[in-house]
A and B are shown apart, each in its own frame.
Chain A
Amino acid sequence: MRRRMPKSLLVGAAITLAVVAAALLSWAWTPYPAEQVRIIARLRPPGPQHWLGTDHFGRDTLSMILVGARNSLAVAASAVLLGAAAGVPLGLAAAAWGRWGDELVARLGDLLFAFPAVLTAMLLTAVLGPGGTNAVLALAVFNAAVLARVTRGAAQQAWRREFVRAALALGRGPLSATLAHVLPNIAGTVIVQATILFAVAILNEAALSYLGLGIQPPSPSWGRMLGDAQTFLFTAPLQAVFPGAAIALTVLGLNLLGDGLRDWLDPRER
């Protein structure tokens, strides 16, 4: 059965693709080298030479935003993938092995959810030191907890379905039943959740970088650009607008994509 693709899916996919394209483009081309310092040209307003102006070291803002897209997407994607790698098997196991595993995952989830994600990340980066890799780890913890919970819920429902019961009755073990029947059945739910988490991860990475705990200079990051720009609100106000707009656009695209995917896979009106 083919369903019509929701508009949000198309728009979301288009925005996301554009951001990814910008990130890829930055490998090959940016108007200026993103890390090139030119003090003479600092805090320029947008103009023909620098379309989005320059920062306090005279670096080209557009170039920094392009490279920042790469960094932002890389951190967020790694954090989601790492979270999925830990969370999905955990959730599947919890659903497959019933009571005890279930209880354990639920309690672990309770514990982790009690800590706001930014707080967890702040404490972890205090332990590990700031930096891109550590930001990935810190954000992945939260993602793993969410994905474990979602996977567990979806998998439990799947276990109650007849074809899984039938497979078990036919002598399949829990592991084999999980791989053959449960996993394909819940993949859509997990992918939708992962897309939304991707968006959340972009936001959280930006918050960490804003606090100076994320990707480190000279490599540009949107959050840190905002942190730097806040110092120059009086002299170069627009510098505090562009990186935030880049974050908002990316997150908007991913959210639309997630919502659209959900509507497409499960067309009940919400």
Chain B
Amino acid sequence: MPIRFPRLALAALLPAMMAVPAPAQEQPRSQQARTDLVLGMRLEPPHLDPTAGAAAAIDEVTYANLFEALTRIDADGKVVPGLAERWTVSGDGLTYRFTLREGARFHDGTAADSADVKFSLDRARAADSVNAQKAYFAAIDSVETPDPRTVVVKLSRPDGLFLFHMGTGDAAIVAPETAAANKQTPVGTGPFRFEGWTAGDRVVLVRNPDYDGPKPALERVTFRFIADPAAQVASLQAGDVDTFPQFDTYEALPQFKDDPRFTVTVGTSEGETILATNNGRKPFDDVRVRRALAHAIDPKMLIDGVLFGNGVAIGSHFPPHRDGYLDLTERYPYDVEKAKTLLAEAGYPDGFETVLKLPPPVYARRSGELIAAMLAEVGVRASIEPMEWAAWLEKVFRGKDYDLTVIAHTEPLDIDIYARPDYYFNYRSERFLALEEELNRTQDAARRKSLYGEQQKLLAEDAVNGFLFMLPVTTVQKAGVEGMWVNRPVQANDATAVRWKP
């Protein structure tokens, strides 16, 4: 006899739970332009103190929005006034005299005066400083405060990049009373102040009503952290996110380009992406091997495969948008036979085994996979070893224990790294050092340009690293948003000039 059995209304339960209102906010149809912005970021900052960490995500929330430094870097990479409204430099380039904005205040209401500047600079260069860019402050000899609005910085040697460095997040001006707590509750002098942080999801900044400068159009900026590419696309489509700078899900760009609700911009970064090569290790100490690799790698395929076409090839360690750039992309055309010949000349007719260590970013992992496939074509069998940042920094960067790796060097004008004696490329060239020394002595713009050109040529000749492409800066945003940076001279999401089209 069958047992009669009441059907449980399980099916009724699920729709009830789904009946919660959908998160996508419907915009009220009014003439009033919106004054809030939701900005998407891939990585969440570990904390919010730009003077105590190298994570780009810290600056991408706080730079220019929450914290200000003496100077500021604008969308074009130029040095413009920040907390200091003007400055003078002595003829010998050793004395900088900054005049602070009158009425500048920290978000806790206290005045931001020369004592705070002195505190901040002294803290950054102190013996127990944990500033990630302590070298920026190395030339400072003394900081004097003749009056609350004046700061006099004396350098021990001329430093052509001093004003630029004083405009980075690492040089943010903080108050002695609040500096220790800035990691969790940042207090700066910027046009936005900190409102809240929902771990794993968002940081919210609101307009600072007491800001002494021009008021931003936005009242509220929400930084949302969305690590997953599919979720990034979905959040833009659903309207949860208004703008996504540094959107690196390149494969999704075409669908946004075709959609009139969105605008897509592709700008330049300072990130030369290279196949870094250990020049101190066999067989890469042989220039013929390095040249063979250069011939074996097809940058076009990388740009296509990794960036879905949104990138520019480079032939040396220099960004095409900078003064002094030399086009060397034709120096090593993609040529498998040539590569094999060079390898044979160097004594490796059958290629060799090597290890390709890859840090976490998608561009590195994907480039690495493609490079391994391309190297296999010429007989170089590269096994891939993915690494987390911590391991990469310790083993590859500091320990120089690697053969090949893929990485983007994002600091502006960083060709000087090839002159550093202990750098992880293990590259040593007297000629390059001589060029670098002359560059440091030279003020004449034309001569500097030609020296930069010489350096680029030399690096290409020596095929120090595989020079792959410039990492693009792609921004996807709603069509109504304007004022976001297109290019990225420093890591920042400067929202102070962003507004909605009325």
Chain A residues in the interface with B (C-beta under 8 A): 35-37, 39, 42-43, 56-57, 126, 129-131, 212, 216-218, 230-235
Contacts and interface: CB of A to CB of B under 8 A. Distances in A.
Contact of B369 (A42, A43, A218, A234): A218
B255 A234 contact: yes
B435 interface: no
The 6 A-B pairs of least Cβ separation, nearest first, read A233-B230, A231-B229, A39-B305, A37-B373, A217-B369, A39-B304
A59 to B, nearest CB: 9
A217 B230 contact: no
Interface stretch (B10-18, B273-281, B383-391, B487-495): B383-391
B379 to A, nearest CB: 15
28 contacts: A35-B376, A37-B373, A39-B301, A39-B304, A39-B305, A56-B251, A57-B305, A126-B388, A129-B387, A129-B391, A130-B385, A216-B383, A216-B384, A216-B385, A217-B384, A218-B373, A218-B384, A230-B229, A231-B229, A231-B230, A231-B249, A231-B251, A232-B229, A234-B230, A234-B234, A235-B251, A235-B252, A235-B255
Given A57-B305, A212-B386, 10 more contacts: A35-B373, A56-B251, A57-B369, A129-B391, A218-B369, A218-B372, A231-B229, A231-B251, A231-B362, A234-B233
B251 A232 contact: yes
B394 to A, nearest CB: 12
Contacts of A56: 251, 305, 366
A235 B249 CA distance: 11
A231 B386 CA distance: 18
A130 B383 CA distance: 13
Contact of B386 (A36, A216, A234, A235): A216
B141 interface: no
A231 B228 CA distance: 7
A130 B357 CA distance: 11
A196 B182 CA distance: 52
B458 interface: no
A170 B163 CA distance: 93
B370 interface: yes
B230 A42 contact: no
A228 to B, nearest CB: 9
A202 B15 CA distance: 34
Contacts of A35: 373, 376
Contact of A131 (B233, B362, B372, B385): B385
Interface of B: 228-230, 233-234, 249, 251-252, 255, 301, 304-305, 362, 366, 369-370, 372-373, 376, 383-388, 391
Contact of B228 (A57, A218, A230, A235): A230
A112 to B, nearest CB: 25
A35 B369 CA distance: 10
Contacts of A36: 373
Given A216-B384, A231-B230, A37 B255 contact: no
A234 B252 contact: yes
Contact of A37 (B252, B370, B387): B370
A129 B372 contact: no
B140 to A, nearest CB: 40
A56 B304 CA distance: 11
Contact of B372 (A39, A130, A217): A217
A232 to B, nearest CB: 6
Contacts of A212: 386
A55 to B, nearest CB: 11
Contacts of A129: 385, 387, 391
Contacts of A43: 251
Contacts of B233: 234
Contacts of B362: 231
Most buried by B among A39, A212, A235: A39
B303 to A, nearest CB: 10
B406 to A, nearest CB: 13
Nearest to A235: B251
A166 B362 CA distance: 66
A186 B459 CA distance: 68
A51 to B, nearest CB: 22
Nearest to B395: A129
A235 B255 CA distance: 9
